[in-house]
Structure 1
Amino acid sequence: MKKMTSSTLLALTLFLVCACNPVKKFVGSPCFTNSSTPMQRIVDSSTCALNQLRIKDKLPHLDQLLAEARAVLIFPDVYKAAFFVGAEVGPGVLCAKDETGFWNGPVFFNMAGIDIGWQGGVEGKALLVFLMDDQALDDVLGGKINLSLGADLAIGHTADRSNRGTFDAEGNMVMFVDQAGVYGGMSYRTGAFMVSNDFNTRYYGKKVSVRELLMTHKYDNPEAGQLPLSLAGLY
């Protein structure tokens, strides 16, 4: 398959976000939010998804991973509708540690991809990507992370340890999937993480570079305060 362009991925994201709204009602989410803007809904849902992992003890090493990570991507609502060829999309946030070691951000991202393979069903999940060093963070910011030749990893909504897991993607990234819904299959994937410049500009009221949002507190949005506190284990 030819490499997907950013415009193709963005169009796919916008289409699937609309198309998958009924799926969310079917799957159900403990992180429903009544926030007035789509950006704040993503921030609130990301905070809630993180807190749910702690409350239900789905990822026993969550706080250890957060303590060691340089940054983390959180996609609280990723949806896939698939039969032989499937599309997977979801908005999310990137937070990183500043020079003092405290969490900063968020910066808004989109994840979009195409799966090809034996698959079927409807899936909703939260996805966390722990970036363990500066190189992993630089790769994400530079658009160098490509989801390819990957087997789906589904982690059920259960306390059973047999349904927990993490996998190391490239040595300096650790990914965790928390799945809800019905899905099964093995697939090849092409896709990417993309900065949502529009959402970042709207949330912070002006155009600011991604690195400035992540490395300084000059443009902090008070409404995002609970997310860095949750990442630090303080909320």
Structure 2
Amino acid sequence: MKLDRRSVLAGSMASLAAPFIGATVARADARRQALVDQCLQSAQKVLSGKDFPDALKLMPSAKGLIIIPELVQGGFILGAAGGRGVLVAQSRPNDWSYPAFYFMGSGSIGLQVGGKVSEIVFIIRTEKGLNAILDKKFKFGAEAGVTMVAVGAGFEGATTAAAGGDIVAFANSNGLFAGASLEGSYIDADNDWNALYYGADATGRAIVIDRRFTNPGAEPLRQFLAKW
């Protein structure tokens, strides 16, 4: 069979491009897996460490968790924050879903000097709180009927403080900011990352409620959460 010049050239270009395409996909998978691994480390720190003694008391009845390993905030006068994390849901005790990727961000105007990195684990205590996050972009402090309690590192009595709260945030912050104000922050599904980690049509609800998608890279996180 005789090959024309264009066919040979196209085949050669495809052969040259293949390794680079494969490398791009591998890097993309590595980024998402690295975030899942970071979320596992944050969950271990909060649930196994001594800084949040009451977090474990809320786990057996929790409907879900949002884990944000790094929420970076900084600026002067005009502040902004951002960070990725995951949402997992518990359909029955110790049966946790695979993680769905979410992005958390905020913007604020006020006196802000320096920078802060916050590690936050949200324990979602009610179906109302879980559905509010799944159904749309969730804005802390602005969702009617959904209440949130923020707890800093080392604070005891979170179980009492969280009475009646739909979501409890355990925050560990470093930097020049005092406290961890989450008012005005939002969290929304990152379905581009979900599709890259699981496949097409992977959304927050499809992953954590319908449980249509799996990825073995998330098994260590699920197994750790199942211990509590």
- Alpha-carbon distance in structure 1 between the residues aligned to 2:38 and 2:162: 25
Q: Report the more deviating stretch, 103-112 or 216-225.
A: 216-225
RMSD: 3.1
Segments of 4+ in structure 1 off by > 3 A? 152-156, 163-170, 184-189
TM score, norm. by length of structure 1: 0.71
1:147 to 121, 129, 140: 140
- Alpha-carbon distance in structure 2 between the residues aligned to 1:193 and 1:211: 14
TM score, norm. by length of structure 2: 0.73
Consecutive unaligned residues of structure 1, counting only runs of 5 or more, are 1-33
Q: Report the more deviating stretch, 168-177 or 224-233.
A: 168-177
2:87 to 81, 87, 94: 94
1:208 to 194, 202, 208: 202
Identify if the C-alpha distance between structure 1 residues 190 and 217 changes in structure 2 by more than 3 Å, giving closer, same or farther: closer
Q: Which residue of 2 aligns with 1:78?
A: 71
Give matches, 1:43-62, under 5 Å: 43-62=36-55
- Alpha-carbon distance in structure 1 between the residues aligned to 2:128 and 2:150: 24
1:199 to 189, 193, 203: 193
Identical counterparts, % of pairs: 25
Task: Tell me the secondary structure at the aligned position of residue 140 of structure 2.
Answer: coil
1:155 is matched by which residue type in structure 2?
G
1:127 aligns with 2:120: yes
- Alpha-carbon distance in structure 1 between the residues aligned to 2:180 and 2:36: 31
| Contact map agreement 1:155 1:165 (CA 8 A) in 2 | no
Per-residue CA distance 1:101-157 (angstroms, 9 max, x = gap):
5011200000010122233221011111111111111100122531348xx96835x
Q: Which residue of 2 aligns with 1:228?
A: 222
2:30 is matched by which residue type in structure 1?
T
Q: Which residue of 2 aligns with 1:190?
A: 184
Identify if the C-alpha distance between structure 1 residues 165 and 64 changes in structure 2 by more than 3 Å, giving closer, same or farther: closer
Per-residue CA distance 1:162-201 (angstroms, 9 max, x = gap):
x567564972111110112332379784331110000000
Consecutive unaligned residues of structure 2, counting only runs of 5 or more, are 1-26, 143-148
Task: Report the number of matched residues.
Answer: 195
Higher strand residue share: 1
Per-residue CA distance 1:198-219 (angstroms, 9 max, x = gap):
0000001222342231135542
Task: Tell me the secondary structure at the aligned position of residue 72 of structure 1.
Answer: strand
Per-residue CA distance 1:47-83 (angstroms, 9 max, x = gap):
0011122443111122221212100100011100132
| Contact map agreement 2:42 2:69 (CA 8 A) in 1 | yes
1:210 is matched by which residue type in structure 2?
G
